[in-house]
A and B are shown apart, each in its own frame.
Chain A
Amino acid sequence: MTLPGIITMLLSIGFVWILLIVCMRRLLRSEQKTPARVLKKNSTE
């Protein structure tokens, strides 16, 4: 594997992982801010 290959791999994989981590952090933070009773109310089952 060449250096450009390693750079390509790390950039590609790094980009998708960072995107996922940033999105998940925001998503989980917003999830924690929502009180459980509101979540419960949303469910109609």
Chain B
Amino acid sequence: MSTPRQSVASVTWNTQLGTMLAVAGSAVGFGNFLRFPGLAAQYGGGAFMIAYFCAFLLLGVPLCWVEWAIGRRGGILGGHSCASAFMLISHSSVWKYLGIAGVLAPLGIGMYYMYLEGWTLGYCINTATGALSLHSSAEFAAFFEQFTGSGGDGAAYSGQSNLPLFFFIAIGANLYLLYRGVTRGIEWFCKWSMPVLLITALIVLVRVLTLGTPDAAHPNRSVDQGLGYMWNPSKTVLVVEGKTVDMVPAEASPEQAEMLVSRVQAEHPGQTVRREHISLMQGLMNPELWIAAAGQIFFSLSIGFGTVLTYASYVARRKDIALVSLAANAANEVVEVGIAGMMIVPAAVSLLGVAAAAGASTFGLGFTVLPEVFAAMPGGRFFGTLFFGLLFLASVTSSISILQPTVAFLEEFWRLGRSQSVVVVGMLMLLGSFAVSWFTGEMMALNTLDFWMGTMCLYLISTLYLSIFRGVWGTKNGLRELGRGSRIALPRGLGFVINWITPAILLIIFCSWLYKSMFVSTCEHITHLKEGEPGAVLPMAWMVMIYIFMVFVVRTSKRFHKKKTVDSPTAS
């Protein structure tokens, strides 16, 4: 095998289709398959989808275009990471230190993503071998605890779980693909894995939609009922102590509805069963729904991860970016709305009932509810293996993209070769990932990194994108860059949306989230750091050390430090 040799300044994507698939692959992940269906069902399909598409058009698409334009401009000027692109566009060295956030955050996210990839691979293999052919919810919960080591720190390495094996396979696969380079590794992998992922998802979808009413003893548990729970704009649910336990079918007569309430009451003796009606207008008037929809778009499209910027920097000067960005967003939405929206909740409702699907967390739905669904499904072992296999593919296409900014950063600032950069990134990530897989009690390290790197930093980076695009570069210049080589006409009001609407939505989401985290419920992540919990402090201390290392890399760089002019062969 020949060693991949790609000069960072001259790398460009082979094809636009490859670019689009790589960006779509970067965006398609856990959020599409596990987070979206839960949210849509929780807030009542119709109202949620109106808010969701408003957020897609006013927040998602404009922010992605901003990131693409900055990225391509950075690439033309010779910068492929957030730090260098910011500096080269702004001509100010302050921006390169701010831009380090766009390199640090994806690396931090990559640390826990590797661990989650180990889960998906492990669940895929365990489903295939029959180790997940269990019978009760308690057994599935116990398997999850034992496999992931969530029972306590170091439990994953106690010898009872085979997770470490899958975890290291996932890390190895990622580093190998990164070592192969942008075109031979990332583009090649996404070009075959994305169609495979789509076909696999469609196969599982067909299986779910043909389930009908699997258990005649529970006529209320059917695919039709599941689709209704997911998409009906108005529905009546039965709530016991704040948890949705069932849904009154739309076609049920008052007597049948009463019978259902009596049955649920008998299952929950001594507790009050409350009927709750969710209507379209009621949903649209709920500010929480709008914030949840905007947040889902934000995370689903990988806005602020720094990956789109890096990917865009490899697009040639006169190639289209506006259409590629829109196509990648559309592909992400097809997987999320068109496939996951029809698959996850209907499967869970038809086999386990509304109570199983309602209110389950992202990981709860994915790793305790769905394995149980597949165990109860005819042919479930095969379809379960396919599903977790596709989840693994989706997570690999995401994780290789979130490590690429750091690889590019080292290549351009220290002029390291690809293999050297991958080794350094591998070492930085391995220590962090090991901490995540060790401090598994209450998933402390994972949750800490997810909060600080996967949430806080993303808002920060998106704000930086808008600031540099609007305030430093100028919206007109940015839109000119976006329109260069474009195969579509940009919407007329795009400048206004980017200048005013998108920042306003971003600000509202951030403030409401901050308000909730700080005042409504005490932010546990801050408390954990204050109390000196090792599972929270050590990963964050490692992130601070990496930040200092990155500042050192920037300061000792001979390429960008002393001169601000361009030294790339592709420079304008």
Q: Contacts of A26 on B, CB cut-off 8 Å?
A: 323, 487-488
Q: Which of A2-45 contact B (CB under 8 A)?
A: 2, 4-6, 8-9, 11-13, 15-17, 19-20, 23-24, 26-28, 30-31, 39, 42-45
Given contacts A8-B46, A13-B341, contact A2 B330 (CB under 8 A): no
B183 pairs with A45, CB closer than 8 A: yes
Closest-CB distance, A25 to chain B (whole angstroms): 10
A9 pairs with B181, CB closer than 8 A: no
Which residue on chain A has the smallest CB distance to residue B316?
A42
Given contacts A9-B45, A42-B14, contact A2 B337 (CB under 8 A): no
Which residue on chain A has the smallest CB distance to residue B7?
A44
Interface residues of chain B: helix, strand, loop or mixed (majority): helix
A31 pairs with B232, CB closer than 8 A: no
Closest-CB distance, A15 to chain B (whole angstroms): 7
Count contacts between A and B, CB distance < 8 Å. 108
Closest-CB distance, A39 to chain B (whole angstroms): 6
B14 pairs with A39, CB closer than 8 A: yes
Chain B residues packing against A (C-beta within 8 Å): 4-7, 10-17, 20, 45-46, 49, 53, 181, 183-184, 224-225, 227-228, 230-234, 250, 280, 316, 320, 323-324, 326-327, 330-331, 333-334, 336-338, 341-342, 487-488
26 examples of A-B residue contacts, CB within 8 angstroms: A1-B231, A2-B232, A4-B232, A4-B233, A5-B228, A5-B250, A8-B46, A8-B231, A8-B232, A9-B230, A12-B341, A13-B341, A19-B330, A27-B20, A27-B323, A27-B324, A27-B327, A28-B17, A39-B14, A42-B12, A42-B13, A42-B316, A43-B14, A44-B6, A45-B5, A45-B183
Given contacts A5-B231, A15-B53, A30-B16, 13 further A-B contacts (CB under 8 A): A2-B232, A4-B46, A4-B232, A4-B234, A5-B232, A8-B231, A11-B49, A12-B231, A12-B341, A23-B323, A27-B323, A39-B14, A42-B13
Chain A residues packing against B (C-beta within 8 Å): 1-2, 4-6, 8-9, 11-13, 15-17, 19-20, 23-24, 26-28, 30-31, 39, 42-45
